[in-house]
Structure 1
Amino acid sequence: MKLLCLDVPQPGARLEKYAPHIRDEVRHAWKLYKSGAMRDIYFRQDRPGVSIIAEFASVEEAREALAQFPLAKVGLIDWEIIPLGPFVNWEILFAPAETGRVGGA
């Protein structure tokens, strides 16, 4: 299952509180990347933080793995996990023009 995972800073989280945990945070990210669970990671451009594209069997499995990030363990971040699916609206390109169907239904 493909997932978009967005970090969510918790109340009182400030960048200086992150500093003691950053090296271990990166190590955990590398472990997830090597395992194939984390496909991509990006710095957010709207605020400090990251977005991760991940592959897990379930949202629950992703939540367990993301909870192991050091910043999550010390309560500085949590995660929003959004399941993703295929964009089936490409089918409209191949449907007869008069049907006007969308959404793959």
Structure 2
Amino acid sequence: MTGDMKPMKTIRDVASNVILALTLTLTGATSMADSSHAQAQPQAQATSPTTGVMVILTVKPGITREQVTAVMPDEVRQTVQLYLNGMVREWYSRSDGRGALFLLNVKDVAEGHAIMDGLPLAKQDLVDHEYIAIGPLMPLRLLMMKP
């Protein structure tokens, strides 16, 4: 084996560990971890801290494009102001044309609701929102454990 092949093996091993960690988390197998290790970890680390909220905005069925377009100048101005104030981290159009997706810099879903409910489209009841608290990728903690 040549010297330049060893780093590839290391990268492959790390990638395998990440894939395994993701698989275990997604299938719920991490809850079957050794109870002695679980006791050693602080309870606060058992779940990922919320570092933001993802909001999926969908135009309600039956709402016309004209209804939405009439509100958009105010919606955009207020959304840009939220971005400039650091509340909106990122925002995207949905490729299906039915709404948008926002990543908010907030501590919980309630704060995300307060922000989104204050925007013109929500005030006029033209859109629905789905809120998802987000945080660090938890399977990465498995890689940080000592063997």
Question: Which of these residues, 116, 126, 137, is aligned with residue 87 of structure 1?
Answer: 137
Question: Which of these residues, 56, 73, 79, is aligned with residue 23 of structure 1?
Answer: 73
Q: Is the 8 A contact 2:52 2:104 kept in 1?
A: yes
Matched residue, 1:102: none
Q: Is the 8 A contact 1:67 1:78 kept in 2?
A: no
Asked if 1:51 corresponds to 2:51, the answer is no
Alignment of 1:1-105 (within 5 A): 1-93=51-143
Identical counterparts, % of pairs: 29
Q: TM-score, normalised by structure 1?
A: 0.80
Give the drift of 1:95.
Answer: 5.4
Give the drift of 1:46.
Answer: 3.1
Structure 2 gaps, min length 5 = 1-50
Partner Cα distance (1:46, 1:74) in 2 = 22
Aligned length: 97
* Runs ≥4 residues deviating over 3 A: 91-96
Where 1:6 maps in the other structure, the secondary structure is strand
Structure 1 gaps, min length 5 = 100-105
Give the drift of 1:9.
Answer: 2.1
Q: TM-score, normalised by structure 2?
A: 0.59
Whose helix fraction is larger, Structure 1's or Structure 2's?
Answer: 2
Partner Cα distance (2:145, 2:89) in 1 = 33
Partner Cα distance (1:66, 1:33) in 2 = 13
Give the drift of 1:61.
Answer: 1.5
